[in-house]
Amino acid sequence: MRGSIRRRGKASFEIQIELDSADGRRRRRYVSVKGTYKDAQRELTKLLGAADAGTLPDPSNATVAEYIDSWLSGAPKGSAKTMERYGELAANQVKPHLGAHRLQRLKPEHVQQWHGTLIDSGLAPRTVKHSHKLLHRVLADAVKNGTLARNVAAIHAPPAVEAEEIEILSPEQIADVLVKLEGHTLFPIVAIALATGMRRGELLGLQWGDIDLDDATLRVERSVEEVKAGLRLKSPKTKHGRRNLKLPTEAVAVLRAHKVQQMEIRLALGLGKPDATTLVFSDVEGELLKPHTVSRAWRRAVVALKLPAVTFHALRHSHASMLIRAGVDILTISRRLGHSKAAITLDVYGHLMPGADEAAADAIAGVLK
């Protein structure tokens, strides 16, 4: 057995391994890996080890379940949270229904029947869509590696998912929320969420070194992610996720007051003054907060203080809504929210742009005279 690694892109590699078959002929296997060269080396070592131990699945005979297991155990195809979700979808939605099929004999009608089975079981269309997306990605890699000739999951699309109406606070509600939260432990993080549109995880990953209060700017560099193994900090998924945000005067004042209060608590606990790596929003001992802890605290505050019954994520939507009301262009809003494409911003918030169609008609009215 022997193997080699060939670079295919800026962060992708192709592994080639040669295996001895029962008839004495050598067969080649190709595997694509995204990541660094070291990731590719680790994957090559794992594949050669499995082949030597006789546990490397034969793509020509592998079942869908076996191939998915091999795919999941390979180089990570996303963040730890994403891989955890992939594992859950594979175990609960894909393998129980399609796992016994031979990979090479999986047909488009099998996929179509699978969609119907999932829907009939009462599964939410969104979960069916996510399950299909996983199968599609696994089979796409199998095609790329030469294991399959075509991706049968590309033939039949999953059932359509109805767009959910996003929750938004009106300007009057925002003002009421901030007044009622004055003095509450949630006030600083809620105020900054409304002022920046940052995601919950991004707020919890914020460090004082990311903020220049004198220049009224903030840098989004990381996010907190919660997986079964615990909490971890991760970098933004795209280059637009890492971004600079200008802060309004009120937000700067909130952060200055919060920093003073945090310093008093830290000194009382013997933790010392906050430094550049100190978390802006943390537990009392300065450790990472679980994202769901913040959401739970918000839900309790909603009930106790009679706030609008929306999720914490609605604060981000409300920020975007305020920018749209102010006439800020969609590209600027997209960059501020950290979307990878302005099209995403339009899909989510396009319906909040009143009069856009009328404005378009007025713009070309003169041309038709």
**pLDDT higher than threshold 90 for residue 304:** yes
The CATH code of domain 171-356 reads: 1.10.443.10
**pLDDT higher than threshold 80 for residue 332:** yes
pLDDT at residue 258, as a whole number: 97
Domain edges within the chain: 2-154, 171-356
- Shortest CA distance to 95 belongs to which of 122, 62, 125? 62
The rounded mean pLDDT for the chain is 88
pLDDT at residue 23, as a whole number: 56
pLDDT digits (tens, 9 = 90+) for 123-135: 888 899 999 999 9
Q: Which residue has the higher pLDDT, 221 or 351?
A: 221
pLDDT at residue 256, as a whole number: 97
Confidence of residue 160 (pLDDT cuts 50, 70, 90): confident
Average the pLDDT over each of 18-22, 89-93, 108-112, 319-323 and give the range with the smallest value.
18-22
**pLDDT higher than threshold 70 for residue 120:** yes
Residue tagged 């022997």 (tokens): 2
**pLDDT higher than threshold 60 for residue 366:** no
Tokens of 8: 């295919």
Question: What is the enclosing helix (H) or strand (E) of 212?
Answer: strand 211-212
Confidence of residue 294 (pLDDT cuts 50, 70, 90): very high
**pLDDT higher than threshold 70 for residue 348:** yes
pLDDT at residue 68, as a whole number: 94
**pLDDT higher than threshold 70 for residue 112:** yes
Number of other CB atoms surrounding residue 85 within 10 Å: 15
Identical fold for domains 2-154 and 171-356, yes or no, is no
**pLDDT higher than threshold 90 for residue 197:** yes
Query: How far is it, in rounded angstroms, from Cα 139 to Cα 125?
Result: 21
pLDDT at residue 331, as a whole number: 92
Query: How far is it, in rounded angstroms, from Cα 135 to Cα 68?
Result: 8
Q: Decide yes or no: CATH 3.30.420.40 for domain 2-154.
A: no
pLDDT digits (tens, 9 = 90+) for 272-281: 999 999 999 9
Query: How far is it, in rounded angstroms, from Cα 175 to Cα 194?
Result: 11
Tokens of 168: 């938004």
pLDDT digits (tens, 9 = 90+) for 18-76: 876 655 666 677 777 778 899 888 888 888 887 777 666 666 678 999 999 988 887 77
Contact 323, 333 (CB under 8 A): yes
Over range 317-325, report the average pLDDT.
Answer: 92
Confidence of residue 248 (pLDDT cuts 50, 70, 90): very high
Tokens of 146: 């030469």
Q: Is 216 left (phi over 0), alpha (psi -120 to 50) or beta?
A: left
